[in-house]
Amino acid sequence: MKNKAFLFDRDGTLIKDKNYICEFSEVEIYSYSFEALKITEKKGFISIGITNQSSIARGICKEEQVRKIHNSLMSIFKKKNIDIVKIYYCPFHENAIISEYKKNAPCRKPAPGMILEAAQEFNLDLSKSYMVGDSTRDIIAGINAGCKTALVMTGNGKKAIKELETLNIKPDLIAKNIFEIAKLV
């Protein structure tokens, strides 16, 4: 039997978007994020992060710093008995200043690469999984992967809703934040 996942963007969805975060001390977890993931776990969803991290390609943060942030996030949620099984990140960008990260990679949202990798690793039924985010690229990545999609109004959500309307793309769910989405899935 395949699993279903609650796939979520990091900045602007699970935590406050502060542009480029390189140290965990800069992370501000939305207070309702803990309860949101508790709710989705009770509904049988696996929690998985899906995030573009071009700060690495741009030379702003080191890849090891991003991994430390993700390990710390997973640890804090684990202390509250919430299991984020993995946080996938894409360090690449086509305009990178660090040459090893300069490419148009299939992991960079809106491409579905990270979601498809998660589906393979965790035996996911993407048609029963949700991609939740605050940007147009999160919603398009979810659609490209065959997921249901959910747009939050935190982070860049208000900007994204206008962009999505222009593109004639409608997320399956739209809500104030990740907690409200968790109650709806």
Residue-wise pLDDT for 73-111, tens only, equals 999 999 999 999 999 999 999 989 999 999 999 999 999
Annotated catalytic residue, options 9, 83, 125, 134: 9
What pLDDT score was predicted for residue 19? Answer: 87
Is 125 a known active-site residue?
Answer: no
Q: How far apart are CA 26 and CA 4, in angstroms?
A: 31
pTM of the shown model = 0.96
φ, ψ of residue 42 to 5 degrees: the values are -65, -30
How many CA atoms lie less than 13 Å away from 49 in the CB half-sphere?
26
Domain with residue 132: its CATH number is 3.40.50.1000
Q: Average model confidence (pLDDT) for the chain?
A: 97
134 class by beta-carbon count within 10 Å (0-12 exposed, 13-18 middle, 19+ buried):
buried
Is 138 a known active-site residue?
Answer: no
Residue (of 166, 144, 160, 140) closest to 175 by Cα position: 160
Number of domains in the chain: 1
Range of the domain at 55: 4-184
Q: Would you state the structure tokens that stand for residue 152, as one six-digit string?
A: 């939050």
